[in-house]
Amino acid sequence: MKSFHLACVLIFLSSCGSLGWLGKSEEQEKLETGASSPTVIPQGLDKPEFNDPMPIPEIRDYRGLANSEIELGLPDALATNFGVEQILIRRLGDSRWVFLDLPVATVWPRVLLFWEEMEFPLSRLDGRSGLIETDWIAGIDGDSDGIYESLNAIRKPRSEGYLYEYRFKVRVESGVRSGSTEIYVEEANRLREASVDDNLVWDGVSDNQDLEAKMLSSLAYYIGERIAEGPSISLVAATRQESKVDALIEADGTVLEYKLDFNRTWATVGRALEDAGVEVVDRDRSAAIYYVSYSSIENSKAGFMRRLLKSENKTEGGRPFRVVLSPSTNTVRVDVAVGDASDQEPEDLVLRERLVKLIKEYST
């Protein structure tokens, strides 16, 4: 029995040592003391190049938050434009387009099917640039509905009495919001007797804007009917997924760069502020500035329970900010500045970043 008990004690002690109960191993001590010295390769041996697969970037404290204490509440919900339907026809001035909350790779095949089912002859088809051009198609003169019906004479002989002919150019582009698509249609027409020079120059303005609107609405309705038919993806069009707005990280914080003209950017930012529930106190279009009041609690679209949970941290009203647009040759820069720089607090810089995120997420 004594031998048996002694054997059990020895087994128990050896197990404790293997589990580290009797003391720290050499590996544990190295982990607690920090990084070990780098390996030194002796002279005369090959020295391979070492690349750090997970480099730690240098942190720029552009918000001035170092050594500051900030009380953090529950995180804000990811901004999403809940009020936007999947397919809309938007208009700004004389410009119209179809907005789809779907990626270009999904929309492009359905646009092609529209023209194929209409039996329109195509003179140009470029999936990489998202361009489609039809050939000249004979039709009647008159209102847009009548012209569309004459062009849509599928599997019917076209009348020789048609005095006009029509041509369309379609652009399928990535939208302002990431993962969305915009479709533009341009129309041209002429008398059939004048069909001499086929070198048509597209100038961005339709000859018949009512017919352009009719074709856009028909295209939007067609795509809407076929969304539920199942996924159909174009690998060629999938290369054009970039958004028309980029978030640039700079020394003073995040700024937005819109690849649009000033009129479209001004309207887009204003609509984004409205949809996000940010209070616009004033606006100065000549100076390209929106004056807003914002706080993550006051302007949050969260539900009642979330507001109740955060009520103890609620501040009185929002903080003043200026949303400044700076147009350049092909882009418009959108920056957010704290309204009163003399009364700026560390929390204002956090709110600024959230406001920039909201503008980008709600832009359509």
pLDDT tens digits along 201-218: 888 899 999 999 999 999
Query: Are 166 and 224 contained in the same domain?
Result: yes
Query: Are 218 and 121 contained in the same domain?
Result: yes
- Flag whether 357 is in a domain: yes
Query: Are 218 and 116 contained in the same domain?
Result: yes
Query: Are 129 and 261 contained in the same domain?
Result: no
181, 204, 239 — which closes off a domain?
239
Alpha-carbon separation of residue 299 from 120, 304, 306, 317 (angstroms): 49, 13, 13, 9
pLDDT tens digits along 116-130: 888 888 889 888 888
Domain count, the chain: 2
User: 3-state SS of the chain: helix, strand, coil percent to 5?
Assistant: 30, 25, 45
173, 205, 239 — which closes off a domain?
239
- Other C-beta atoms closer than 10 Å to the C-beta of 180 total 22
Residue 42 half-sphere exposure toward CB, CA atoms < 13 A: 1
How buried is residue 297: exposed, middle or buried, by Cβ count under 10 Å (0-12/13-18/19+)?
middle
Query: Are 283 and 330 contained in the same domain?
Result: yes
CATH number at residue 276: 3.30.310.170
**302 has pLDDT over 70:** no
Q: What is the mean pLDDT of residues 309-332?
A: 75
**76 has pLDDT over 60:** no
Beta bridge partners of 126: 131
- Other C-beta atoms closer than 10 Å to the C-beta of 244 total 21
Q: What is the mean pLDDT of residues 148-175?
A: 79
Query: Are 265 and 333 contained in the same domain?
Result: yes
Domain hosting 355: range is 245-362
Average pLDDT, the chain: 78
Query: Are 235 and 99 contained in the same domain?
Result: yes
- Flag whether 216 is in a domain: yes
Residue with tokens 């929002």: 318
Question: Comparing C-alpha atoms, which of 198, 186, 185 is closest to residue 136?
Answer: 198
Residues in Cβ contact with 145 at an 8 Å cutoff, skipping those fewer than 6 apart: 214
**342 has pLDDT over 70:** no
**108 has pLDDT over 70:** yes
pLDDT tens digits along 211-253: 999 999 999 998 888 876 666 666 656 566 677 888 888 877 8
Residues in Cβ contact with 102 at an 8 Å cutoff, skipping those fewer than 6 apart: 86, 179, 180, 181, 227
Query: Are 290 and 356 contained in the same domain?
Result: yes
Q: Give pLDDT, residue 311.
A: 45
> What's the CA gap between 130 and 237, in Å, rounded?
7
- Flag whether 59 is in a domain: no
Q: Give pLDDT, residue 65.
A: 67
Read off the pLDDT band of 329 (50, 70, 90): confident
Whether residue 184 contacts residue 202, with contact meaning beta carbons closer than 8 Å, is answered with no
Read off the pLDDT band of 1 (50, 70, 90): low
- Flag whether 277 is in a domain: yes
Q: Give pLDDT, residue 8.
A: 57
**333 has pLDDT over 60:** yes
CATH number at residue 126: 3.30.310
Lowest mean per-residue pLDDT among 158-162, 245-249, 297-301: 297-301
Query: Are 121 and 215 contained in the same domain?
Result: yes
**168 has pLDDT over 90:** yes
Name the token pair of 303. Answer: 């539900």
State the pTM of this model. 0.67
- Flag whether 156 is in a domain: yes
Query: Are 294 and 328 contained in the same domain?
Result: yes
pLDDT tens digits along 17-69: 444 444 556 666 656 666 667 778 888 888 777 776 676 667 766 566 677 77
- Flag whether 283 is in a domain: yes
Q: Give pLDDT, residue 331.
A: 93
207, 239, 271 — which closes off a domain?
239
Query: Are 180 and 283 contained in the same domain?
Result: no
